[in-house]
Amino acid sequence: MSAKTKSERLRRLASHGYFAPELPPCFVSEDLARYRTSILAAIDALPLTRRGDPAHYAFVSEPAWFYFPRFGKEDRRHGVPNPVAHLLLSRVLADNYVDLRRRARASKITLSPPVFDWSGSRALMRSSVELRDDFRVNLSSRREEYVVADVRAFFHSIYTHAVPWSIHGKQFAKRNRGWTHYGNVIDLLCRNAQDGQTLGLPVGPDTSRLIAEVVASAMDAHLQQRLIIGSRDASRYIDDYTLSSPNGASGEELLAALRQSAAIFELELNSEKSAIHPTSLRQNTGWQQAVLAHLPRPSPSVTRIEAGALQHFLYQLGRICVAHPDMNVEKFGLQHARSAIVNADHWKTLLFALINAYRRNPSLISLLVEACLLRQVVHGDVQLEILKEFIENRIPILARANRTGEIIWLLFLVMRVGLVLSAHRLTPLFLVENAFIALLVVCLDARGLVRGDVDRSLWDESLTGDGLRSSMWLYAYEAVTQGFIPGVDDGFITRDSYFSPLRSKRVQFLDIRRGYNSITATLRSLRNENTRLRRMREAIQVEDFDGLDDLDEGEEYEDIGEIDTY
């Protein structure tokens, strides 16, 4: 068990709360976490600004962006902040986490409270959307109707000035804008991490999730006071509200009150998703159990799953998909059939079925890649010629549509199985200004997995000090420090006051060997995550906030000798 100090919280936010979980596991940040103290010490030692502020208060950068598919919706833009910006923001959040958690507890209706995770896959635990559906079913015993609504583009529309409003109170924060109030520092660092913009938080980092929950909880507190409601009357899952009234208020009145509470923090409701429903409405519950009932099982005498059993499972899965078109049934089913898929007979036929499933549901891209890699590890019989033809034909189409998240996963798959691709087929990528794609392509080229010349002219424009602060920072730093671009000097990195500490410690952000090396390890990790998720769900259901704190492993210990330098 880790010592529960501010420094260790910072370590977890840097190591397990940085890269978005929608990215392949090859993107890593353990080095950033390991050398956090020396990196921050070097940054803190820089000369103060003319106003006497720390130098890093003037460090402005952009995240590296990518778009990842969502089921039944448009792709969502995700961001990975500049590592310097992430460390600086994470330090303030780690130092003030206990107070932030206390303020988030002002919400009596949240189903997604902040729970720090010391040993899971993320720094903050992720709640289950099933809690929302269960709450709506439970409402039928005491209400005639309920209101559903969510915040329009929640993460992308959070006003950074609303962060200190949520922490210190709106009027107090407007009168007290100094750096002694940590909410103002969070506001500044959030803006600086997005090229100075005051609107939005990058989707992906756990820092954004924590800040967003604090803002939403402040909105809840105002709503609770206005409507005199509690946990039996309303719930919020991230930004998804379910409201009912113990006093007979109409649905229109509830929506009006929610809209006014959102407006206090410069947020708006999504009018297209706001609705009033009778509590007799059938909820999307039970389909998970229906899927699990059809999971194929190996027979005692045969370790592999017979093709007929898998075909039957896929057929039944399709029927449940039709019955619940608004739910990502297929992803849930294939996730729980990992072991059966990896150990299936007639893999070639199954590979075609998986590619077919991905084409109609792009959110399955990570599952497709995972299945191929684990199958290759366990049985070594993945038909590489099929994958090559599929990927070489798919990438140009994805590039023209700017579907960068899918491209990133496919390039990761190419790297891991050692496919050689034609540079001609990759040509559309050379015009895509995306740090993840650029880095993976030059890595492929350095490994001899590209046949032909790679045109880096657009990407190489970022190989400057300014490039280290741009959305191409990952390419500018990692492609050079890992030697993927021959003949390029790293002087622009070593001369940079903020990146030279990373370079001196050989901090790296790409490890192609990471992830999907063992089906046993993968399944064990998933079981552990499911156990933790179940514990969190049970604690929220019974409103056992002490139980949630148990997941957080007790009380905070102060760091001896640590001095706040922000």
Q: What is the pLDDT of residue 547?
A: 60
Q: What is the pLDDT of residue 561?
A: 33
Q: What is the pLDDT of residue 365?
A: 99
Residues 524-541 as b/e (b if ≥16 CB within 10 A, e otherwise) read eeeeebeebbebbeebbe
Q: Is the dihedral of CA 539, 545, 547, 549 positive or negative?
A: positive
Neighbours of 93 (CB within 10 A): 23
Is-contact 246 146, C-beta < 8 A? no
Q: Are strands 450-451 and 421-422 parallel, antiparallel or unpaired?
A: parallel
Block means of pLDDT (10 residues each) for the chain, length 566 residues?
Answer: 83 98 98 98 97 97 98 96 99 97 95 92 91 92 95 97 97 95 98 98 98 98 96 96 94 97 97 94 90 86 80 96 95 95 92 97 98 96 97 98 98 98 97 99 98 98 98 99 96 98 98 94 88 85 66 46 32
Separation of alpha carbons 462 and 459, rounded Å:
6
Q: What is the pTM of this model?
A: 0.94
Domain boundaries, the chain: 6-281, 316-504
Question: In this structure, what DSSP letter does residue 306 have?
Answer: P
Q: What is the pLDDT of residue 551?
A: 59
Cα separations in angstroms, 535 against 168, 396, 450, 463: 32, 44, 47, 47
Alpha helices in 66-205 (DSSP H): 83-95, 97-104, 130-139, 154-157, 162-168, 170-175, 182-192
Here the tokens at position 182 are 């940590």
Q: What is the pLDDT of residue 546?
A: 62
Q: What is the pLDDT of residue 4?
A: 82
